[in-house]
Structure 1
Amino acid sequence: MMKMLVALGRRVVGLLPLAVLAALVTGCQTVQTTQGGVVGVEREQRMMVSANEMVSASAQSYQKILQEARQKNALNRDPAQVERVRNVARRLIPATGAFRPDAPAWKWEVNVLSSNELNAWCMAGGKIAFYTGIIDRLQLTDDEIAAIMGHEIAHALREHARERASQTMMTNIGVSVLGAVLGAGQMGTDLIGTVAKVSFQLPNSREHETEADRMGVELAARGGYDPRAAISLWKKMAKASNGGPPQWLSTHPSNETRQGDLAQYASRVMPLYEQATQRPRAVK
């Protein structure tokens, strides 16, 4: 009798990972976050985290970052530079409607942080930050600022942060269950997590970057900025980072791959740029 109970227990434990994985799959929602646009980004995404949760968390995180920057006297120190960045945003934000009809009405915020970092980002819901380092060190033109901003806005439109949070949640739950069932211990669990990261998260991240590059040039073009500036931008980035790591060890495409792809898609959206620059602009 005891042997039968032990055998039954082992069968139940063996079925646990399958049951959990089934629950994870059921809890995922397949969504199409954006329309394809001229560049044709139409990949479906699987989400476990809700859009509202991401927007709320991003808003709280953004305000905390601004508060810390304010305390360090690092928030919007150069009014002319801040206005320059915000002017670019004013032209790109209406263009987001080509990918998401709801996006132009997001609660957008645009701020400049004093930091030597080559960095800029856009959180869920349209919370944008540019670092002075990327503007000053790369001596960015307005077209190049638009290339960066379009890229970062595209990440928010595609909800890449939400997608990666969902992937991490699935991985962490799965790893915890497998570690417990297999008796792997902390070391085994960490190893499983590392393998999962290398096998699945790196390719997805490259995919995110490529999507953001392609959508970014379209956003810039629709806003009346030369999409070809994305190519000169990444040449500057390559020089500043000494070429960067090889593609197979990086979460981002190689600079050579990126520039080739950008050239192709910038050419595709040139008619949008030409159309936008022919329209009379509203007086600021």
Structure 2
Amino acid sequence: MKRRFAKLLLGVVALSAVSACQTVQTTGGGEVGVDRSQMMMVSSQEIEQASGQQYQQVLSEARKKGALNRDAAQLFRVRAISNRLIPQSVAFRKDASRWQWEVNVISSDELNAWCMAGGKMAIYSGLIDQLRLTDDEIAAVMGHEIAHALREHSREQVSKAMVTSMGASVAGALLGIGELGQDLMSMVGKVTFELPNSRLHETEADRIGVELAARAGYDPRAAVRLWDKMAGRSAGGPPQWLSTHPAHDSRRKDLGEYAERVMPLFEQARR
């Protein structure tokens, strides 16, 4: 009886969580046709506020280490590229023109770049220097990261984590599951909810990213060259089913196909 009641209550909680979700369309499809609707449990405003606070903390820490915008010429270069990319974001969502965009360079050997909710961006010097990125390749990096923000992928991940943790907590309380069981349930939730969508997020960002670059007058085919450089540094990476990122061959193929699709936009931007 106790377990039957527990299962029933779990079902009620799960139903309540689903009903609390909001189905949203964060972006228009653009020429690349990314038009998937998303389920959200937290507002854009909350995520943007948290992202802004986190961003300032990251910048503060970098500043203390003397690692924030150390190379003036590199910063100028990155911001010049960003200033051409950012206006193109309105092709996917009009409200992005009202975001308080920020772009900074952090001196680090790490091969990384990111764009938080609301347009808070950073690229690491190691990515530019170690891979000897061209302007077109930097545009590919930043277009990809901007796409994550436009699609509100962080908001979507937080929403899914909220549903997963809610279910695990309730199950543990009702069924008497110990810490090990809680960890296992968390792992199952991660595999079920995060990994497939993380691959999907990367594909969406790849496709939107090449369109943003093309609209800004950067060669979208540079995304393929960039990915070849990244894959070369990671020895090809793990197979697709073990990774949150698409496998090298499938990702390269998709990037190439979508880069060709937006070539007319690139040619038009260059006139």
TM range (shorter): over 0.9
Tell me which residue corresponds to 1:281: none
For 1:10 and 1:75, how far apart are their aligned partners in 2? 55
- Which stretch has the larger CA shift, 124-133 or 242-251? 242-251
Residue 130 of structure 1, aligned match among 105, 112, 123: 123
Q: 2:62 aligns with which of 38, 45, 69?
A: 69
Contact between 2:40 and 2:155, CA under 8 Å: does it hold in 1?
yes
User: Unaligned stretches of 5+ in structure 2?
Assistant: none
TM-score (norm 1): 0.94
**Secondary structure of the corresponding residue to residue 39 of structure 2:** strand
SS at match of 2:94: coil
The separation in 2 between residues aligned to 1:30 and 1:23, in whole angstroms, is 15
After superposition, give the CA deviation of every residue in 1:139-184 in whole Å (9 maximum; x if it has no partner): 0000000000000000000000000000000000001111222222
Matches within 5 A, 1:140-219: 140-219=133-212
Higher alpha-carbon deviation: 185-194 or 160-169: 185-194
Structure 1 portions without partners, runs of 5+? 1-6, 279-284
CA distance in 1, matches of 2:81, 2:60: 24
- The answer as to 2:261 corresponding to 1:268 is yes
Deviation sequence 1:24-81 (CA, Å, 0-9, x none): 0111000000000000000000000110000000000000100100000000000000
Which protein is bigger by CA-based radius of gyration? 1
Q: Residue 251 in 1 paired to residue 244 in 2?
A: yes
Counterpart-to-counterpart distance in 1, 2:228 and 2:16: 46
Written as runs of structure 1 = structure 2, the 5 A alignment for 1:230-249 is: 230-249=223-242
The total of aligned residue pairs comes to: 271
What CA distance in whole angstroms lies between the structure 1 residues aligned with 2:3 and 2:134?
65
CA distance in 2, matches of 1:14, 1:224: 56
Identity among equivalent pairs (%): 65
Are the equivalent residues in 1 in contact too, given 2:239–2:247 (CA < 8 A)?
Answer: yes
Between the aligned partners of 2:199 and 2:6, the Cα distance in structure 1 is: 36
TM-score by length of 2: 0.98
Per mean C-alpha deviation after superposition, the further-off stretch among 193-202 and 266-275 is 193-202
Deviation of residue 10 (structure 1)?
A: 5.7
Query: How far did residue 11 of structure 1 move?
Result: 4.9
